[in-house]
């Protein structure tokens, strides 16, 4: 990085990446997606889609992993 614009661009990229990782952690923690084992790929796709819809709803309500109801 040689200028402030490059540093700002890198910071924004890292911040976005961190928010995506936090979202995946939220989904896996709240919906128990980590220990799930399924044989059919279509079943996994359906489970992930349902988890994203539910996570979007919870985010819309303002819930985070800090809330005891979510844990």
Give tens-digit pLDDT for 2-61.
788 888 888 888 888 888 788 778 777 776 766 666 667 777 788 788 888 888 887 787
Distances (CA, A) of 58 to 33, 42, 46, 50, 65: 16, 24, 18, 12, 10
Domain boundaries of the chain, sorted by first residue: 4-61
Residue whose token pair is 């700002």: 8
Task: Say if pTM beats, i.e. exceeds, 0.85.
Answer: no
The length of the chain in residues reads: 71
């Amino acid at each position: 990085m040689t200028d402030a614009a490059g540093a700002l661009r890198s910071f924004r990229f890292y911040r976005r990446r961190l928010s995506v990782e936090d979202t995946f952690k939220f989904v896996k923690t709240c919906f128990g997606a980590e220990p799930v084992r399924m044989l059919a790929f279509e079943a996994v796709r359906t489970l992930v889609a349902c988890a994203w819809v539910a996570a979007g709803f919870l985010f819309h309500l303002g819930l985070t992993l800090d809330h005891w109801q979510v844990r």
